[in-house]
Structure 1
Amino acid sequence: MVIEVRDGVAVVDGEPRVLVTADYPYYRDDPAQWADRLRAVRDELGIEVITCYLPWRHHQPEPGSAPDFTGATHPARNVVGFLTLCHRLGLKVIAKPGPFIHAELTYGGLPDWVCPDADSSIEPLLDARGAATRWSDGSDPVGRTLPAPLGATFLTRTTQWLSAVGKEVLAAADEGSMPVIALQIANEGIYTNGALPLTAYDYGPSALAFFRDRLRAWYGDLAAYNAVHGTSHRDWTAVEPPNGTAGPRAKADWGRFHADYLAEVYRVWSQAVGSDLPVLVNLNPPTVPELDDWLARVRPELWGGISYGFTNWMGVVSQDRDAHARYVIAAKRAPGPNLEENWGFSQLYHPAYIDASTSFHQSLLALAAGATGFNVYTGVATSGWAPELDTAHARPYPDCPPIDASGTATVKAPVVRALADFFARHGGEFLECAGVTDHAFGLYLPYAGIAALSKENGTGECGAPPDGPGCGRPLRAFHERMRALGLDYAVLDLEHATAEELAAFSSVTVPGGPFMHRRVQELLAAYARSGGRVLLDGPVPELDENLAPCALLPPPATPPDPGPGPLLYGDADVYLRSHPDRDVHYLTVLVRTGHEGPVGVRTPYGTVEVVAAEGGAAVVRLAGGELGDLVVKGVNGYLSCEVEASVRLNGTRVGAPGPGDLIRIGGAHT
């Protein structure tokens, strides 16, 4: 198996695939059980790709010794043996060497000896107040200080760790004797901090040196910087990070710095591994108050060959409007897989995850909204980890996955198997189909940085000042309008968008503000001249990025009549994808918590009626005017809901024989 990642899509042996994976934390289990658990993932869940973190603190607990990847010091450290076992069982692996991994491990998987508290030569990560940022795993309320990722000492040690992984664990991958097909670097930002405020980090010496280097690159010389900012600095070292009262361009610069900072950390850590394997990252979705902070920081367009991915961990989307918005925005920000979907944690996160319907609903929502794969986190329960790895969480970990701690398939296993089989059969075609979207939201991300740093002066929705520019508030408002109309939409970064990309939409909604890049204004003006509608949420910009006069945008257009959405009746979110060349469509129906009864959807073949459980979901292939393969969740034990799952089209009904799920794959019911 040869894998590439093209525009966020996994291409396996030349064929695009929906990337379906399951995580197995081998370091939490007895090595004697590895083979049995891997077979269960393969045979019971139908999943061929394993994801696994490689905890630094597990493999190199002491600074004076080399990392142990072969089990010389403890059998559970034999990750080379684990990968060899995966290879023998026909499984492929996405390896995740961190260096920070979270994974409910002590100090996020970092060894204690890289902590600034233990070694004064290691620079701490600092917030806007100059305070050290600390990480607590739950057992220690104070937590340990996190190291600055670009600090010289820590960067040397992370480079040594990642290089050792590349040389001693991954080196054979290119020769086909190891199963590793891709890497994931870091976790949910750098230290699970991708969604934190821009003021949370990094104000330490190494980060500020990088900040000033970036200013030099952006402005060319100090005179140009002073002209834009109205300052009279004589040296770059005099430029300080902006606070809440700084001018808009200074705030926009700090947001841009965060985007470049994240890109730089990803770059140096990926480069340190020294592998030609595809590299992915996983971003946690934004919080509602920090939506602008997240948008300013998360700019996949700057990452070069590193591919976007995201996680869940923010609430039950079928019942929580905020969680739904955060999830959809994360899925639409860039193409890439959902690399951690909660399929096993009900006690640690929310009791709704005791039932497979919650995870089934969210996995399908991610794919419908734009994700290119999903991960079962975790596929297997474990209970054999050493105390130095985790003393804060009860065994087993997690409490309710598809394969339990004894290796037995649970009631979630057939649901995972149905999704895996459906997308193994139809995933390539599903990805070829395009979402039916006629409207887009255009991000102008300098406004995100401005709003993120202006929150202390007055807070509106999404944390942005109600009378200032921002991206979070207008994007959230746009999302809610589209959801109320039952319409899908796209998200574009206007600083990187092309005329061809804009031309695919009849309207683009853009946040307004005092200035806008000249190139972006020219792009939008040309789009308007060609018949597109530019809908401004805010004032018309009258300046360019250098604050010189520039007013190229046309007067705000009248919002178009969106026409009827696909949802005819029922309380649900619906997504329709259509193939550009064949008479094939995919319908996803996501039933909201509280809804009972059928959901009717307008399709090219007429009305499709779906009956699914409250909080459940369905995915249906439509081809040639007929119902094809489908998976419908008819039972939600958490909500005590059991229905006879069914799908009806033009008098033809496919249904379960009684209360329960409905699965038809390859034309056969299971």
Structure 2
Amino acid sequence: MLITAEYPFFRDRPEVWRDRLTTLVAATGVKAVTTYIPWRHHQPDAAAPPDLTDAVAFVRLCGELGLQVIVKPGPFVHAELNYGGLPDWVCPLADPGIEPQLGADGAPVTWSGSELDADGSAVPWPLPAPLGSRFAALAERWLREAGRALFTPDLVTPAGPIIGSQIGNEGLFTNGARPLSAYDYSASGLEFFRTVLAREYGDVAGYNARHGTAYTAFAEVEPPRGPATPLQHVDWGRFHAAYLTEVLRRWTDAFAPPVPVVLNLNPPAGDDGDLDAWLARVRPETWDGLQYGFTNWMGVVSADRSAHARYVIAAKRAAGPNMEENWGFSKLYDTAYASGATSFHQTLLALAAGATGFNIYTAIATTDWTPALDAVLSAPYPDCPPIDGDGRPTGKAAAVKMLADYFTLHGTEYLECAPVTYATWGLYTPYAAIGAWSPGAAEQCGRPLLDFHHRMRAAGRDYRIVDLEHADLAGHDRIALHGGQFMHRAVQDKLAAHLAAGGHVYLEGTEPVHDEHGEPCSILADALHRTAPRDLTAEDGVTVLSGAADAYLRIHPDHDVCYATVLVQSDSDPVIELELRHRGRTHQIEIVAARGGAAVLRVVAGRLDDHLVKATNSHLGSAVSASIRFDGEQIAAPPSADLRRIGGSPIEKTVA
């Protein structure tokens, strides 16, 4: 399990780095650091080469202290920096030779720049088009030089501390959750769009045959900018997936990391069509060597069921770590994050839903930077992290340490355990590309998936997500999906074979009657009509009997071990009653936790083992005597103390 903490070293004086990192290890137990390597910080002057002296010194210090490092060079990093960490001189305003990224309306896509208006707000600046020749050359040169400086034998594992890298940020320009109409209609973007069309259709005659058009060259084909045919929207969705992959691959090739590359896709946004746009664009099965990862900047999931659903979907889309869990920002986002319980809840939810690790973002408050780096925010940055601006642990540090200690000991076993799921959602992304533009269309993915999620959670059941075009369906007994007028013939064949092998397929919406070429094809409909529904039998699981909470169960395939995670909603009574069924045993459990808090329990051979329970949530004014009653035997902590047992250690009082 990847357990990391973010430290933006470039916002602090080098003389405090050692103290902050030493405190981080002692107070939180985290032994790996992530850090952005901002282009604007290391190369503010276009005429001078990048200077990565301080980045190299920071990485070397981490190695001296026994800390592992994941380096993140962007080129766009966000991180609340001017122009997202891009240097001013790559802005199209500064260099007319740099092509701007464009939206469907033809206007430049913007980000907050380095200039402030009369109110002290950052003036929006146009962003460069990632595939524009001049910016692409500059970005790739930056990444090559950053890679040469950082990936020396003494800095890279096994001799050095660097174990991984991250390319881009939440998409390309923190745009992974934006609508499909938001980008990229620049000349370079459309040139690549037509390249994708040529890959799909072979030649313009093949395109014309499918679209009923009479173009003489792909250069004549225009992208959708509003309502269009479903097939035009499918083409644009395919382009978005290929565009994200293409740019990230080019940046990765330039950085040339000798360590794994992880991404940090932002989760889907909440407006109509946003989930469809995200599902159409995010295709991890096509990335080949790029590791899926995600972030959480969508709202307080213990209080907002929409945020909860989208967060879970992001965690389930593919196996990968949560690369940014908000542990430090309340003023910029939501006052609920002033309490460690909010982030504790979300971290455990991400892991229960499928994440392979978590990141404390941002773990250490920083106090020293110039307006050239960040002209808007004042120190400390962030405002409420586990380590404050004076280098002292806050109450959040103890909450992080519970998680870090628990999963340092049990993380490998936890990930070996398979989640107990009732069904699998079959994702068919051509529908998502249509639904992103037309949320009311028969072909869509987002709304049906959200409805499926809410039904599963209301029934206390977990689920998986699988890409029907790429995945092997073995091991996915019950597959639910939404249907439309068409579906790839190969996908229909795959689902029909699944039915013939004894699997279940539950089709909502319309039975497809055409294949991807518009030819008649009712393979799936015919198979469904030949298959009688089967009775569903009781199975292992965990059920919430009283209280407002979500519960998840993971079971080891070889050993008599399981993990139950309980996520208490913000409006719940502190007392949660559950029933856990595992290996023919049924256990009655009562957990007392703070509102908006959470718990994780390891059960070995039918007996309660190591566990964590969050007892306080200062934001909600909730403080309890945390306890667990497991089959009549009770363990309790002192009032307002978190309950923890890790490796047989006694209860330790923590604060939040």
Which category describes the TM-score, using the shorter chain as reference length?
over 0.9
CA distance in 2 between counterparts of 1:308 and 1:199 reads: 24
- Cross-structure match for 1:66: 49
Rate the CA distance shift 1:224–1:402 in 2: closer, same or farther, 3 A: same
- Cross-structure match for 2:641: 660
CA contact (8 A) 1:535 1:558 kept: no
Question: Could you list the per-position Cα deviations for residues 565-603 of structure 1 after superposition, in whole angstroms to 9, with x for gaps in the alignment?
Answer: 622222100000000110000010000011113212222
CA contact (8 A) 2:486 2:518 kept: yes
CA contact (8 A) 1:228 1:546 kept: yes
In the TM superposition, what is the alpha-carbon distance from 1:242 to its structure 2 partner?
A: 2.0
Matched, 1:367 2:347: no
**Which residue type is aligned with residue 44 of structure 1?**
A
Q: 1:281 aligns with which of 253, 257, 263?
A: 263
Q: 1:117 aligns with which of 82, 87, 93?
A: 93
Matched, 1:158 2:144: no
**Which residue type is aligned with residue 300 of structure 1?**
P
Q: How many residues align?
A: 633
Q: Equivalent pairs: percent with the same residue?
A: 53
Give the TM-score normalised by structure 2. Answer: 0.94
Q: 2:201 aligns with which of 219, 227, 239?
A: 219
CA distance in 1 between counterparts of 2:243 and 2:227 reads: 23
Rate the CA distance shift 1:446–1:380 in 2: closer, same or farther, 3 A: same
In the TM superposition, what is the alpha-carbon distance from 1:651 to its structure 2 partner?
A: 1.9
CA contact (8 A) 2:592 2:626 kept: yes
In the TM superposition, what is the alpha-carbon distance from 1:275 to its structure 2 partner?
A: 2.1
CA distance in 2 between counterparts of 1:293 and 1:114 reads: 28
- Cross-structure match for 1:10: none
**Which residue type is aligned with residue 307 of structure 1?**
Q
- Cross-structure match for 2:252: 270
- Cross-structure match for 1:592: 569
CA distance in 2 between counterparts of 1:366 and 1:333 reads: 12
In the TM superposition, what is the alpha-carbon distance from 1:360 to its structure 2 partner?
A: 0.1
Rate the CA distance shift 1:632–1:649 in 2: closer, same or farther, 3 A: same
Q: 2:469 aligns with which of 478, 495, 500?
A: 495
**Which residue type is aligned with residue 103 of structure 1?**
A
SS at match of 1:98: coil
Of residues 427-436 and 212-221 in structure 1, the stretch that sits farther from structure 2 once superposed is: 212-221
In the TM superposition, what is the alpha-carbon distance from 1:532 to its structure 2 partner?
A: 2.2
Rate the CA distance shift 1:201–1:600 in 2: closer, same or farther, 3 A: same
- Cross-structure match for 1:538: 509
Query: What's the Cα RMSD here?
Result: 1.5
In the TM superposition, what is the alpha-carbon distance from 1:205 to its structure 2 partner?
A: 1.0
In the TM superposition, what is the alpha-carbon distance from 1:111 to its structure 2 partner?
A: 0.1
- Cross-structure match for 1:350: 334
Q: 2:476 aligns with which of 492, 504, 509?
A: 504
- Cross-structure match for 1:74: none
In the TM superposition, what is the alpha-carbon distance from 1:174 to its structure 2 partner?
A: 4.0
Matched, 1:413 2:374: no
In the TM superposition, what is the alpha-carbon distance from 1:560 to its structure 2 partner?
A: 6.2
Question: Could you list the per-position Cα deviations for residues 451-483 of structure 1 after superposition, in whole angstroms to 9, with x for gaps in the alignment?
Answer: 1123xxxxxxxxx11x42100010000001001
CA distance in 1 between counterparts of 2:24 and 2:452 reads: 40
Q: 2:3 aligns with which of 1, 4, 20?
A: 20
Matched, 1:376 2:354: no
SS at match of 2:436: helix
Q: 2:188 aligns with which of 206, 211, 220?
A: 206
Matched, 1:625 2:599: no
CA distance in 1 between counterparts of 2:122 and 2:18 reads: 37
| Structure 1 ranges of 4+ moved more than 6 A | none
Gapped runs of 5+ residues in structure 2? none
Question: Could you list the per-position Cα deviations for residues 63-92 of structure 1 after superposition, in whole angstroms to 9, with x for gaps in the alignment?
Answer: 00011111xxxxxxx111111110100001
CA contact (8 A) 2:151 2:258 kept: no
Gapped runs of 5+ residues in structure 1? 1-17, 71-77, 455-463
- Cross-structure match for 1:42: 25
CA contact (8 A) 1:361 1:617 kept: yes
CA distance in 2 between counterparts of 1:543 and 1:178 reads: 56
CA contact (8 A) 1:571 1:591 kept: yes
In the TM superposition, what is the alpha-carbon distance from 1:214 to its structure 2 partner?
A: 1.1
Rate the CA distance shift 1:145–1:527 in 2: closer, same or farther, 3 A: same
Q: 1:573 aligns with which of 532, 536, 550?
A: 550
CA distance in 1 between counterparts of 2:510 and 2:343 reads: 41
CA contact (8 A) 2:542 2:564 kept: no
In the TM superposition, what is the alpha-carbon distance from 1:29 to its structure 2 partner?
A: 0.5
SS at match of 1:171: coil
Of residues 274-283 and 109-118 in structure 1, the stretch that sits farther from structure 2 once superposed is: 274-283
Matched, 1:473 2:447: yes
Matched, 1:649 2:633: no
CA contact (8 A) 2:600 2:612 kept: yes
Q: 2:381 aligns with which of 375, 397, 418?
A: 397
Question: Could you list the per-position Cα deviations for residues 606-640 of structure 1 after superposition, in whole angstroms to 9, with x for gaps in the alignment?
Answer: 11221111100001100011111111001111111
CA contact (8 A) 1:535 1:559 kept: no
**Correspondences of 1:326-341 after superposition (within 5 Å):** 326-341=310-325
Of residues 555-564 and 608-617 in structure 1, the stretch that sits farther from structure 2 once superposed is: 555-564
